[in-house]
């Protein structure tokens, strides 16, 4: 019985790791990443499983809150990213606001989830993700503990729930990280933005902090550049979307 359960869990991990790598291959990543991506995902999931052993009990008894869980999973990502991908270099730190904001980044890889934990946000930062993350072993549960807002764009009712949950997060004084392309794509040309994040900004009057991730694979560096904050006052959401896109891609 124990062997059967153990074998099923191992198979689950193998299936998830294989699927992640297969999905990354579809978004245009160079083949060179595979000697990094497979061990990166494997080690991250193993560490996340070990972390869950203490994070879940501490969360259930109220000793840890969602931002504490985020901090601890950040240690995991920091180790794995630096081990397999190199240094993270930040610029534009003078643009980081003291108050809540909607952080808007470009989405190129599954690594972006780990990069989010490096964002120097001065308020608690809540992430967003497609709902399928809940099926990822250990990481799915941890994402829920981190108060991650899940979205299923194929279901209109769930998309509306995503918007309502985002409003609650902002009303609580927390910031939100959103990748408005909706799906990842490596390199250029970048995918267009979707409307939702900018409608959220306009309705809640929450400023946008655009930032851009650049992976220098050959030199093993990851660059994060933060742009000046964009205020939504008297700007239509579609114009806000275009302005953000232009700022990030120097249009």
Query: For the segment 205-244, what is each residue's pLDDT rounded down to a tens digit?
Result: 999 999 999 888 777 889 999 999 999 888 888 899 999 9
CB atoms within 10 A of CB 89: 12
CA distances from 96 to 3, 75, 114, 223, 226 (A): 51, 22, 19, 16, 7
Q: Reply yes or no: is the peptide bond before residue 76 cis, omega within 30 of 0.
A: no
Q: Where are the domains of the chain?
A: 2-249
Task: Work out the angle between the directed axes of helices 196-204 and 156-171 (0-180°, nearest 10).
Answer: 40
pLDDT at position 36 over 90: no
Identify the pLDDT of residue 155: 61
Looking at 26-35, 70-79, 212-221, which range is the least confident one? Answer: 26-35
Identify the pLDDT of residue 60: 95
Per-residue model confidence as pLDDT tens digits over 135-145: 888 999 999 99
CATH of 2-249, one of 3.40.1130, 2.60.40, 3.30.300, 1.10.10: 3.40.1130
CA distances from 184 to 28, 84, 187, 190 (A): 9, 20, 10, 9
Burial of 39 (0-12, 13-18, 19+ CB in 10 A): middle
CA distances from 118 to 78, 87, 121, 138, 247 (A): 8, 11, 9, 20, 21
């Amino acid at each position: 019985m124990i062997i059967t359960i153990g074998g099923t869990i191992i198979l689950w991990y193998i299936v998830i790791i294989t699927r992640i790598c297969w999905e990354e291959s579809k978004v245009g990543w160079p083949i060179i990443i595979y000697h990094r991506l497979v061990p990166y995902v494997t080690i991250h999931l193993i560490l996340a499983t070990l972390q869950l052993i203490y994070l879940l009990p501490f969360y259930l008894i109220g000793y840890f809150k969602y931002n504490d869980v985020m901090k601890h999973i950040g240690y995991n990502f920091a180790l794995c990213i630096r081990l397999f991908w190199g240094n993270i270099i930040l610029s534009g730190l003078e643009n980081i606001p003291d108050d809540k904001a909607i952080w808007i980044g470009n989405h190129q890889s599954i690594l972006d989830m780990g990069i989010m934990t490096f964002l120097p946000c001065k308020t608690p930062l809540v992430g967003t993700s497609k709902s399928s993350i809940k099926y990822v072993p250990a990481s799915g549960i941890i994402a829920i503990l981190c108060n991650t807002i899940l979205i299923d764009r194929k279901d209109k009712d769930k998309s509306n729930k995503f918007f309502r949950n985002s409003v609650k997060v902002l009303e609580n004084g927390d910031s939100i990280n959103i990748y408005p392309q909706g799906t990842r794509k490596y390199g250029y040309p970048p995918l267009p933005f979707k409307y939702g994040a900018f409608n959220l900004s306009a309705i809640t009057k929450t400023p946008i902090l655009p930032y851009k991730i650049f992976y220098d694979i050959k030199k093993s560096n990851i660059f994060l550049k933060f742009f000046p904050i964009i205020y939504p006052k008297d700007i239509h959401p579609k114009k806000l979307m275009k302005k953000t896109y232009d700022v990030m891609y120097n249009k």
